Amino acid sequence: MEQFASSNPNIKVVGVGILDSLGLAEDFNEVTGASNATMLWSESSELWDHYSVSSQHTTILLDGAGQEIERWNDFDAQDVSSAAS
């Protein structure tokens, strides 16, 4: 994801964590070095509920207005790049 974010500056990459603690989210961010992606964590599942996310590793491509274009149950850089173009 970090490499994808670095290679695609026209696509804003945001990771959202809710299932683990804030400490684990911070550890993930530190280990992955996700400096080109925005990493968010919340105690609430409100964002997941809003986008009907039922499992981790869900990737959702949104347009500039926040409307869903496509979704996947994993992250594949080529699929996201193709759908975004």
Q: Are 62 and 69 in contact, with CB atoms under 8 Å apart?
A: yes
- Residues paired with residue 59 on neighbouring β-strands, in sequence order: 72
- Provide the CA 53 distance to its chain's centre, in angstroms: 11
Angle 37-43-44 from CA coordinates, rounded to 5°: 100
* Tokens coding 5: 């974010």
pTM: 0.75
CA distance 17 to 72: 17
pLDDT values of the chain reduced to their tens digit, one per residue, 85 residues:
778 888 888 888 888 877 778 888 788 777 777 677 787 888 888 888 888 988 888 899 998 898 999 999 988 889 998 998 8
What domains lie within the chain, and their CATH numbers? 2-84 (3.40.30.10)
